[in-house]
Amino acid sequence: MINRNHVMKVLQFTIPVPHNKSVIVERVSLPHHYPYLHRHKEIQLTWIRNGEGTLIVGNNVHDFCAGDVFLIGANLPHVFKSSSEYFERNSGRQIEALNLFFNLDETLLALFSMPEMKQALTFFQQFKPGFKVPYSILDKVTDTMIELDNSSGPDQIIQFFNLIGHFTAAKCKFNMLSTQNKLPDITENEGIRISRIYNYVMQHYHQTIGLEDVAGIACMTPGSFCRYFKKHTGHTFVEFLNEVRINEACKKLIAHKFESINNIAYKCGFLSITNFNRVFKSLMGITPKHYVDSYNNNIFNVNMKSSFRRLPDFTDVRKSRVLVS
């Protein structure tokens, strides 16, 4: 098992690698995901088999739900933040995930130095910020992850080759998870402090949040907090708050609960529908109504204007899938 309590100076997990393993497989079944911002030197491939919430990776925010698969680059700060319902006492909820960890610079260095692996190495170098696995290859990837989990010895490496082959042979577009894959080093105290800020925002995004509120969480003055947050996350607190709120609004808009756009705007913390529409279009490149219409028609093909958030892929796992248990 991976030691979730062993944290280095930069809040970096140490993934123990057995002598007979080059690819680490971790099955996760817990009340909620690990709630703190962290990173590790291994590339991580995560299949969300049950659960939903928000993924913060690098300087970007994404929602996740059952069926999603994400590849997270080495040393990229990230946290899978489970929805607030998973933290309620006696909720009975459970998250399930299958994680793969592999290190191209150490345990797999010799393998990826081979001429035959040049294409694969180039692929991973190109996508250091990570990506969400496109729907068109999702079944192949998850099936191979299961085969890899169930195999051992040389057979496991063969399945790893197959997994890489699905990525390098894919003709679909891979959208990067983060627009910034190099952020300042995060000390242990800073990682915990930023995680507290993230957690506070996730729990209170639907309410009015002032700079004084979050600065108090960080034990700073508002001015110092603004500089600190920008330095360690790559964007301002207002940008982050707006991104979280719009991300939640997007989920509500396509939840088919027949809520009005105005009602969703207020539920996500916007005091003005005019401001909501302005921020939504600024981040998404389209209006909320167009967003809903495009999703319903499954013809979404608009590039996001924002430099720090990418549009969801509506040809993705919003379609029904039967997950292998």
Residue 276 has pLDDT above 70, yes or no: yes
* Helix segments in the chain, DSSP class H: 109-112, 118-126, 138-150, 154-168, 188-204, 211-217, 222-233, 237-253, 261-267, 273-284, 288-297
Domain-embedded: residue 9: no
Q: What is the CATH number of the domain that holds 214?
A: 1.10.10.60
Assign 232 a pLDDT band (cuts: 50, 70, 90). Answer: confident
**CATH number of the domain residue 123 falls in:** 2.60.120.810
The reply to whether 225 falls in a domain is yes
Q: What is the mean pLDDT of the chain?
A: 81
Same domain for 197 and 158: no
- pTM here is 0.71
What confidence tier does 67 reach under pLDDT thresholds 50, 70, 90?
very high
For residues 52 and 90, state if they share a domain: yes
In angstroms, rounded to a whole number, what is the distance separating the alpha carbons of residues 111 and 70? 23
How many independent structural domains does the chain possess?
2
Domain-ending residue, one of 168, 202, 228: 168
Based on the fold, state whether residues 111 and 210 are members of the same structural domain.
Answer: no
Same domain, yes or no: 46 and 160? yes
Highest mean pLDDT out of 107-111, 186-190, 210-214 = 210-214
The pLDDT of residue 215 is above 90: yes
Confidence of residue 13 (pLDDT cuts 50, 70, 90): low
Whether residue 59 is found in the same domain as residue 115: yes
Among 79-83, 92-96, 141-145, 298-302, name the most confident range: 141-145
Burial class (CB in 10 A: 0-12, 13-18, 19+), 300: middle
Query: What is the model's pLDDT at position 325?
Result: 26
Per-residue pLDDT, averaged over 141-158, amounts to: 94
For residue 8, tell me if it sits in a domain: no
Tell me the percentage of the chain whose pLDDT exceeds 90. 45
pLDDT of residue 318: 32
Tell me the residue range of the domain where 107 lies.
23-168
Give the mean model confidence (pLDDT) for residues 58-87: 87
Are 150 and 231 within one domain?
no
Per-residue exposure over 140-163, b if at least 16 CB sit within 10 Å of its own CB, e if not = bbbebbebbbeeeeeebbebbeeb
pLDDT of residue 85: 79
Q: Is 14 part of any domain?
A: no
User: Alpha-carbon distance 73 to 118, whole Å?
Assistant: 18
In a domain, 315, yes or no: no
Q: Are residues 205 and 293 in the same domain?
A: yes
Tokens 């279009």 belong to 281
